[in-house]
């Protein structure tokens, strides 16, 4: 291909992953709403026999949203952003185009296998790592293909400087590769004993070692999917949408290297008051507190990027999504370190305050940023004006209301739960039975589920807006430079 055609970017793979993200978003969030209502109304567990129980559906929800919706969104934005910041088209390399398409179809097969196996009850019972060994091999192959795509595109780039977003995409790839390989090392029992199920395996680690490796992985799966991969997006999409340069290059350097070093050591805070050595628990707490600095560094860098341009919050819903995403990121990354302080953790651990913390990050930070990125990409990929600004505004407020209902109800429920578990009467006996603590939480579970339902409704509004943009919106004569064009 001649250099004159080099900037005709090929978004085929980006489109496919965008569709996948939307599909898994619908499935994962819908299941999330169902299991949230199951917590409030236990009889809903028995609508489909064993296949409708909370324990069977919950891994489908977590894997569908994390490794379906979120990860597809990261892949989609990589295949969009990577070409643009490296000034090279996928179409220029038939090999890289083949790798990208192979990655997508293998990814879809792996996700299908994951959904079916989890639905059937095959699970390692390890948080965020439930998939059995044959599917793990598929995951590794998908990841290797993504790595070939990243470094292959960097290898043929025209732009000498690697933009900040690329640092984060590379870190996402390397971090998850290391974590996933080590945590998912397992022994297939059928090949060792000649008995049992072909799919069954046991971890190569045992007891406390297994717990340590699992939560080194578990916490950093959050770090490198929920955090690093999403920061990669906001460093590109917020400046591009707002027309504002990143506030501070030095702050981006400090935040990146701080995040890379500190995050990897914070997983021990999941194991406070367990059989893990006390110094490891303390280290997890200390590094979690230190983690506030690089986390807030990134978020503040984003907010200060809008310095002097706050009027765009009124005129551009996409900027509003991204600014509030950064704000929720700040909330989540102050709340997590607070929960990791040993005295606070004594109250918070195993309570509903923990899912409250997780979801103000996933719904507010990851969800808002992923949808804003797709909104920004759509006019440029499909060369169509965004269908409805009014619908976007409605979606924003409905989902924001849902998030606030979700995390506030879980904060109250969690603290109530922890205090009831610890309460004693004048004789030193426990004041409440376990079932007392369950029944008192039912109103909060109803509020949480309703908040999740509002978020799901907002997601359907997002999907409809994208669909109408692609199928019925006004064609664009030229690509917008900054703010995405949208019909009223």
Tell me the DSSP string of 158-190: S--S--HHHHHHHHHHHHHHHHHHHHT-EEEHH
**What secondary structure letter does DSSP report for 432?**
S
Model confidence at 8: pLDDT above 70: yes
- Tell me, yes or no, if the pTM score tops 0.85: yes
For residues 201 and 199, give the distance between their C-alpha atoms in angstroms, rounded to a whole number: 7
For 212-235, write each residue's pLDDT tens digit.
999 999 999 888 998 999 999 999
pLDDT tens-place string over residues 399-417 = 999 999 999 999 999 999 9
* DSSP designation for 202: E
- The percentage of the chain sitting over the pLDDT mark of 90, rounded to a whole number, equals 92
> Do the beta carbons of residue 285 and residue 279 sit within 8 Å?
no
Kindly indicate the confidence band of residue 5, based on its pLDDT and cuts at 50, 70 and 90: very low
Residue 298 pLDDT more than 90?
yes
The sign of the CA dihedral 258, 320, 444, 424 is: positive
Contact 413, 444 (CB under 8 A): yes
Tokens representing 377 are: 């990409």
Those residues whose C-beta lies under 8 Å from the C-beta of residue 41, and which sit 6 or more positions away, are: none
| pLDDT for the residue 3 | 41
At residue 2, the pLDDT reads 40
- Cα dihedral 237, 71, 150, 154 in deg (nearest 10): 10
- Residue 29, pLDDT score: 98
Q: Which two tokens stand for residue 142?
A: 């998908």
């Amino acid at each position: 291909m001649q250099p004159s055609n080099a900037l005709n970017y090929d978004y085929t793979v980006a489109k496919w992953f965008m569709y996948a993200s939307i599909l898994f978003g619908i499935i994962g969030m819908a299941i999330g709403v169902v299991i949230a209502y199951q917590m409030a109304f236990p009889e809903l567990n028995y609508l489909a026999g064993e296949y409708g129980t909370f324990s069977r559906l919950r891994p489908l929800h977590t894997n569908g949203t994390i490794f379906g919706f979120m990860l597809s969104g990261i892949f989609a934005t990589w295949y969009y952003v990577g070409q643009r910041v490296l000034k090279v088209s996928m179409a220029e390399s038939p090999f890289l185009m083949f790798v990208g398409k192979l990655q997508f179809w293998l990814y879809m097969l792996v996700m299908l296998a994951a959904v079916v196996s989890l639905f059937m009850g095959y699970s390692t019972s390890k948080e965020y790592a439930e998939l059995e060994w044959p599917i793990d091999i598929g995951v590794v192959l998908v990841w290797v293909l993504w790595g070939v795509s990243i470094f292959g595109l960097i290898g043929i780039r025209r732009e000498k400087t690697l933009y900040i977003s690329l640092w984060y995409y590379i870190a996402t790839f390397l971090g998850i590769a290391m974590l996933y390989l080590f945590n998912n090392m397992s022994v297939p029992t059928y090949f060792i004993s000649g008995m049992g199920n072909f799919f069954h395996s046991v971890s190569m680690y045992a007891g406390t070692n297994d717990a340590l490796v699992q939560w080194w992985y578990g916490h950093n799966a959050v770090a490198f999917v929920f955090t690093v991969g999403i920061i990669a997006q906001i460093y590109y999409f917020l400046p591009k949408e707002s027309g504002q340069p990143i506030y501070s290059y030095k702050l981006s350097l400090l935040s990146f290297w701080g995040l890379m070093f500190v995050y990897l050591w914070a997983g021990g805070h999941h194991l406070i008051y367990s059989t893990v050595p006390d110094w490891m628990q303390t280290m997890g707490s200390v590094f979690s507190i230190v983690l506030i600095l690089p986390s807030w560094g990134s978020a503040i860098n984003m907010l200060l990027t809008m310095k002097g341009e706050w009027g765009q919050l009124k005129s551009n819903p996409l900027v509003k999504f991204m600014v509030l995403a950064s704000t929720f990121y700040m909330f989540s990354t102050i709340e997590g370190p607070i929960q990791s302080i040993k005295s606070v953790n004594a109250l918070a651990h195993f309570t509903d305050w923990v899912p409250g913390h997780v979801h103000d990050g996933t719904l507010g930070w990851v969800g808002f940023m992923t949808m804003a990125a797709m909104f920004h990409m759509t006019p440029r990929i499909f060369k169509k004006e965004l269908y409805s600004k009014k619908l976007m505004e409605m979606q924003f407020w409905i989902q924001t209301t849902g998030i606030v209902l979700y995390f506030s109800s879980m904060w109250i429920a969690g603290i109530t739960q922890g205090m009831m578990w610890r309460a004693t009467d004048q004789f030193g006996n426990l004041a409440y039975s376990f079932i007392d603590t369950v029944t008192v939480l039912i109103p909060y579970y109803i509020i949480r589920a309703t908040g999740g339902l509002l978020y799901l409704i907002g997601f359907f509004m997002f999907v409809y807006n994208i669909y109408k943009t692609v199928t019925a919106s006004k064609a664009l004569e030229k690509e917008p430079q900054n703010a995405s064009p949208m019909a009223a």
